[in-house]
C-alpha cells in the first residue's frame, strides 16, 4: 500500500481503555454516555463507537461520566463495537 497516511478524526484519537479481569469484572475508560442497560446487556457510547457488553447478571458498580469511567461486574460473554456515527460506513453511504 502506497501513499500518504491519512490522519484519524479527533474522535478516533481519544483515550479509550478496556480492562477485563477473569471475565467477571470490566473497567472501561473513555465512556461518554450509557445508552441503555439491563442484567444481560450494557450499551455504552465511547469516542471510538458504541460498545455493547453482553452477559448474565451484569451490574454497574461505579460510573463517573465526567471522568469517563465505568466499572461493571457479572458473567461477561461478549464485547462488540459499532462505528461512531460521524465516521461510520452509514454516514459515508448516506452522508
pTM score, whole prediction: 0.74
d(CA 4, CA 78): 36
17-94 is classed CATH 3.40.50.2300: no
How many beta carbons lie within 10 A of that of residue 89, not counting itself? 8
Q: How far is CA 59 from CA 21, 33, 45, in A?
A: 15, 16, 17
Residue ranges covered by each domain of the chain: 17-94
Of residues 23, 49, 22, 21, the one with CA closest to residue 35? 49
Q: What is the mean pLDDT of residues 43-52?
A: 92
Percent of the chain with pLDDT over 90: 65
Share of the chain above pLDDT 70, in %: 73
Q: Which of 42-46, 73-77, 85-89 has the lowest mean pLDDT?
A: 85-89
Q: Which of 91, 90, 87 is nearest to 12 (CA)?
A: 87
Amino acid at each position: 500500500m502506497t501513499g500518504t497516511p491519512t490522519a484519524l478524526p479527533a474522535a478516533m484519537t481519544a483515550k479509550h481503555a478496556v480492562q477485563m479481569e477473569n471475565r467477571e469484572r470490566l473497567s472501561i475508560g473513555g465512556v461518554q454516555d450509557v445508552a441503555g442497560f439491563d442484567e444481560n446487556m450494557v450499551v455504552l457510547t465511547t469516542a471510538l463507537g458504541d460498545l455493547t457488553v453482553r452477559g448474565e447478571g451484569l451490574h454497574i458498580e461505579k460510573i463517573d461520566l465526567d471522568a469517563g469511567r465505568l466499572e461493571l461486574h457479572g458473567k461477561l460473554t461478549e464485547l462488540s463495537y459499532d462505528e461512531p456515527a460521524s465516521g461510520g460506513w452509514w454516514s459515508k453511504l448516506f452522508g
